[in-house]
Structure 1
Amino acid sequence: MNSPWATTAANFLADPNKQLFIDGKWVPSATGERIETFNPSTGQLLATLARGQKADVDAAVASSRRAFQGHWSSFTPAQRQQLIMQFAELFEKNFEELTLLESLDMGAPLMTRLRPAKNTALQTILYYAAQARNIGGETVSNSLPGKVTSMTLKAPVGVVGGIIPWNGPLFSQMHILGPVLATGCTAVIKPSEEASLAILRTAELLVEAGLPPGVVNVVTGFGSEAGAALAAHPDVNRVAFTGSTGTGREIIKASAGNMKRLQLELGGKSPDIVFADADLDKAVPGVAMGVFSNSGQICFAGTRIFVERKIQAEFVERLGAYSRTLKVGDPLAPDTNLGPLISRRQLDRVLSYLDIGRQEGGELVAGGRRLGGDLAGGYYLEPTIFSNVSNTMTIAREEIFGPVASVIPFDTVEDALALANATEYGLASGVWTTNIDTALKLAHGIEAGTVWVNCYGLVDPAVGFGGYKESGYGWKGGQAQIDGYLYQKAVYINVG
């Protein structure tokens, strides 16, 4: 691929032995050990990463604490806003290079990232830049005797541990960097060992934007080592984590040591409900991409597709036909819709669910094969649809994290609502109908952090996103997220 940003990315990859970013400098891990990371589209070695462990996390947290208590604490809201704006300018200028690194790292199709993802990421950064000047307490009337003035102040919580997933690292980091920089906190970021390159490159841009040393540190490594050490660290005040529900439970346990604040975006098995009165010309592609975007590797993927029985046959036929128009292939090719899964381990996991789906009686109507030929070296899987699935089957209950859809029939609005809520998860949901009464009934009744009506996957930074039940808690975006990086204190002044 011939372009200036491809050349810059190649230069970044020319030194494949990436280090830790601590206190504004690139440093080796304390042990000198390294991790291999592979290109999922070819299965070939892409780079090696420093294997950060407890000692490295200790050093990074100490750096962030020094920055929090030092020069960074003197930055005014206007100065923090200006720094975020400078970073946003550099992020936009280098977005194509960052996206290429992300595509090489985790297999997302480049073209799907260059267009809407660029706008979404930039809008997110700019939202937090605006919030830097929007932080304040209030004066409060009291009933105390004498002349006492009372007010509330808001202050940054301190050091934040940000644990980033591999399925969308560029966007995910913005929901840590944004509120950290806006509120005056500092951060230690632990990217996934399977997709760290774009995060490391972002660290370079933060330095270029003028960020003081220690405000943001990056420690690569395994979740069981660096991630666990960060979650349990006694000098970390807040942890923001996106990942599996199982790991989320471990982070909750680890947070008890110093009562860390937590924001957890965990697993999902989201319902996407299609009524007979829906506009199928919009619903079919909307539902399909609600499952298959990013090769199904999205926490809020609408993998449980509930279809009103009277249109089930037509919908399944149209959904299958649409899925066969999607090109699975090289993520750098301009016409690719779906790239590979992140790793051989994830591919094997998803394939095992396809076997389970067949064994439990699901009707395979599309896909179901690993792709070979020119794609044999990568971890490619056809978009897959099972029909006549029951809500109790394994493929309808467990998060697969791959391009696998389960179509489940229903008869009434009440049936749809009961089926949608019959899960331990509650991350997101979709409803397709032209009846406003039906839409509002489902919007109020579905137990999920987000309800999309006649659309799927839209996220705005001012509105935000969060989970319910075992899909986690805390909010990403909106004023609620800013408040999560601040604590409130009451001030009483006796002026009499």
Structure 2
Amino acid sequence: MSHTRQFYINGQWVAPKGDKTLDVINPATEEVVATIALGNKEDVDLAVDAAREAFESYSQTSREERQALLGRVIEVFKKRMGDVAVAISQEMGAPAKLSQVAQAPSGLGHFATALEALKHFEFEEQIGTTQVVKEPIGVCGLITPWNWPMNQLTCKVAPALATGCTMVLKPSEVAPLSALLLAEILDEAGVPAGVFNLVNGDGPTVGAAMSAHPGIDMMSFTGSTGAGRQVMMNSAQTIKRVALELGGKSANILLDDVNFEKMVAHGVMSCMNNSGQSCNAPTRMLVPNSRMDEVAAIAETVVAKVKAGDPNAEDTVIGPVVSHAQFDKIQSLIQAGIDEGARLIAGGTGKPEGLDKGYFVKPTIFTHVTNEMTIARQEIFGPVLSIIGYEDEEDAIRIANDTNYGLSGYVSSADLDRARRVARRIRTGMVHLNGAPLDNKAPFGGYKESGIGREWGHYGFEDFLEVKSIFGYHPKQA
């Protein structure tokens, strides 16, 4: 990749103002796959200046012009899909199959969804004699994580482009390669100079400079709750809008009438997917106390088939976690589960047998977990499942809601009406019924410490828009 030591500012690849660099490590091999430049406040200033200048013209483009632009982006993205998949596997360790069928295509999906939403989105409405207008908010600061890198990049970039905003992006410095590819895609598609700008760097330097910058009108951040809190604090200096998509500790309620063989297996595999590095993963499985031993036996059988290993191997189910720091954090939390008395039925501390190199974690399951234990309270962000018992439906709802998070939830029942009823009482931004998949046309986001605002589909447009009332726009009726 030719632009790793450059930033994309004002339609050009430019040299950084400083000289700091960072190695990008392949977490499966622990080898350096690229070295990126790290930006500073001066780089952010240049990117913001370019975005502010471009906003004057881009904010005035027509719906049709932006539709045409998104269409070109989609066509170029299709051509580069293979490159994107390879980069994601290299930078964060996703198995090649997962990168090819989910990680890379998620980006294309968000651009296509934004294009369709733009065709029908109502930017204006009349209320009496007043015209209410939704206008692009301005320059947007975008900070994205490493776990689903292209997904998180595009669910911010696509609505910003669709609504007429300009932007400065700081991708995760741990997994920046797919973001550099996205910059190449947008450049080839003819995104006007200054509309999209990319500065690599770390959170305390580039992220903080963006959040506090008076030239940035809104911040959209995806990452940990702690880092999101810092973005809010920095952004408060200039009273800018902040949209946050943060952590989760999602409960997966299996009601007593489900097919346990099927839904326990589904829950285990959903938790292990992407090495457990998904904010909406069903990491707390809630089952009737009377069925705990049965559930444990099923889960133990299923997890035995979850092979961790080389992302390019055909039989690999999960790859490594993203970094040495993440590996260490997960190990300490697994040990906490053991120390606090949860029953370990699979996995545990250390690396899987035969994997001495790479940040691989054993697929781990605890049963007889109580909701007060550390592994039930903290977001582990690794392939670790906690199985918690409940007495009855009311107890299950109570346990599910007993968390600081509120991103997602899962409810399964043979009686769909019963599942619907329970879902309405779960205090989360999303609930999956009977294993239903995500829908990228529907809003994605959470309650409580899981964030502020919603992404995806036409709901994802709202945080990029300001609302203006023009009074007396229409003559009074005689």
TM-score range, shorter chain: over 0.9
Using the TM superposition, give the Cα deviation of residue 277 of structure 1 relative to its aligned residue in structure 2, in angstroms.
1.3
Which of 300, 305, 322 pairs up with 2:302? 322
Say whether 1:33 aligns with 2:20.
yes
The answer for unaligned runs of 5 or more in structure 2 is none
Say whether 1:480 aligns with 2:466.
no
Query: 1:119 and 1:380 mapped to 2: Cα distance?
Result: 25
Residue of structure 1 in register with 2:430 after alignment: 450
* 1:27 to 1:276, Cα distance in 2 relative to 1, 3 A: same
Residue of structure 1 in register with 2:360 after alignment: 380
Secondary structure of the residue that 2:305 maps to in structure 1?
coil
Query: 2:352 and 2:266 mapped to 1: Cα distance?
Result: 28
Deviations 1:381-439 (A, max 9, x none): 11100111111011111111111111111110000000111111111111121123431
* 1:155 to 1:389, Cα distance in 2 relative to 1, 3 A: same
- Kept after mapping to 2: 8 A contact 1:20/1:27: yes
Query: 2:195 and 2:382 mapped to 1: Cα distance?
Result: 36
Which of 251, 270, 276 pairs up with 2:231? 251
Deviations 1:302-344 (A, max 9, x none): 1111111222111111111111101211112233110001011
What does residue range 96-495 of structure 1 map to in structure 2 within 5 Å?
A: 96-117=82-103, 119-133=105-119, 134-141=121-128, 149-371=129-351, 375-455=355-435, 458-491=437-470, 492-493=472-473
The more displaced of 425-434 and 129-138 is 129-138
Residue of structure 2 in register with 1:92 after alignment: 78
Give the TM-score of the pair, scaled to structure 1.
0.92
Query: 2:212 and 2:87 mapped to 1: Cα distance?
Result: 30
* 1:385 to 1:256, Cα distance in 2 relative to 1, 3 A: same
Using the TM superposition, give the Cα deviation of residue 440 of structure 1 relative to its aligned residue in structure 2, in angstroms.
2.1
Using the TM superposition, give the Cα deviation of residue 446 of structure 1 relative to its aligned residue in structure 2, in angstroms.
0.7
Say whether 1:81 aligns with 2:74.
no
Secondary structure of the residue that 1:94 maps to in structure 2?
helix
Using the TM superposition, give the Cα deviation of residue 494 of structure 1 relative to its aligned residue in structure 2, in angstroms.
7.2
Using the TM superposition, give the Cα deviation of residue 75 of structure 1 relative to its aligned residue in structure 2, in angstroms.
2.4
Query: 1:238 and 1:62 mapped to 2: Cα distance?
Result: 15
Query: 1:35 and 1:121 mapped to 2: Cα distance?
Result: 25
Which of 39, 55, 67 pairs up with 2:42? 55
- Kept after mapping to 2: 8 A contact 1:16/1:46: no
- Percent identical among aligned pairs is 39
* 1:236 to 1:451, Cα distance in 2 relative to 1, 3 A: same
Using the TM superposition, give the Cα deviation of residue 132 of structure 1 relative to its aligned residue in structure 2, in angstroms.
2.7
* 1:310 to 1:100, Cα distance in 2 relative to 1, 3 A: same
Secondary structure of the residue that 1:18 maps to in structure 2?
coil
Query: 1:266 and 1:226 mapped to 2: Cα distance?
Result: 19
The answer for unaligned runs of 5 or more in structure 1 is 1-11, 142-148
Aligned residue type for 1:129: L
The more displaced of 437-446 and 264-273 is 437-446
Query: 1:310 and 1:44 mapped to 2: Cα distance?
Result: 48
Secondary structure of the residue that 1:381 maps to in structure 2?
coil
* 1:65 to 1:222, Cα distance in 2 relative to 1, 3 A: same
Using the TM superposition, give the Cα deviation of residue 374 of structure 1 relative to its aligned residue in structure 2, in angstroms.
5.4
Query: 1:236 and 1:334 mapped to 2: Cα distance?
Result: 45
- Kept after mapping to 2: 8 A contact 1:16/1:48: no
Using the TM superposition, give the Cα deviation of residue 121 of structure 1 relative to its aligned residue in structure 2, in angstroms.
3.3
Using the TM superposition, give the Cα deviation of residue 118 of structure 1 relative to its aligned residue in structure 2, in angstroms.
5.1
- Kept after mapping to 2: 8 A contact 1:99/1:113: yes
Using the TM superposition, give the Cα deviation of residue 280 of structure 1 relative to its aligned residue in structure 2, in angstroms.
2.5
Using the TM superposition, give the Cα deviation of residue 224 of structure 1 relative to its aligned residue in structure 2, in angstroms.
1.0
- Kept after mapping to 2: 8 A contact 1:78/1:132: no
Aligned residue type for 2:187: V
Aligned residue type for 2:74: A
- Kept after mapping to 2: 8 A contact 1:81/1:132: yes
- Kept after mapping to 2: 8 A contact 1:357/1:395: yes
Using the TM superposition, give the Cα deviation of residue 495 of structure 1 relative to its aligned residue in structure 2, in angstroms.
5.1
Aligned residue type for 1:306: L
Deviations 1:271-295 (A, max 9, x none): 1111221122431232012211111
* 1:396 to 1:222, Cα distance in 2 relative to 1, 3 A: same
* 1:17 to 1:478, Cα distance in 2 relative to 1, 3 A: closer
Query: 1:162 and 1:242 mapped to 2: Cα distance?
Result: 9
- Kept after mapping to 2: 8 A contact 1:273/1:431: yes
Deviations 1:137-178 (A, max 9, x none): 11221xxxxxxx421112100011110001011111111111
Number of aligned residues: 474
* 1:202 to 1:494, Cα distance in 2 relative to 1, 3 A: closer
Aligned residue type for 2:439: D
Using the TM superposition, give the Cα deviation of residue 489 of structure 1 relative to its aligned residue in structure 2, in angstroms.
1.1
- Kept after mapping to 2: 8 A contact 1:420/1:446: yes
Secondary structure of the residue that 2:238 maps to in structure 1?
coil
Give the aligned CA root-mean-square deviation in angstroms: 1.6
Query: 2:325 and 2:92 mapped to 1: Cα distance?
Result: 13
- Kept after mapping to 1: 8 A contact 2:60/2:164: no
Using the TM superposition, give the Cα deviation of residue 18 of structure 1 relative to its aligned residue in structure 2, in angstroms.
2.7
Residue of structure 2 in register with 1:22 after alignment: 9
Deviations 1:94-141 (A, max 9, x none): 112101101100001110221244554333211111233324211221
- Kept after mapping to 2: 8 A contact 1:413/1:438: no
- Kept after mapping to 2: 8 A contact 1:18/1:47: no
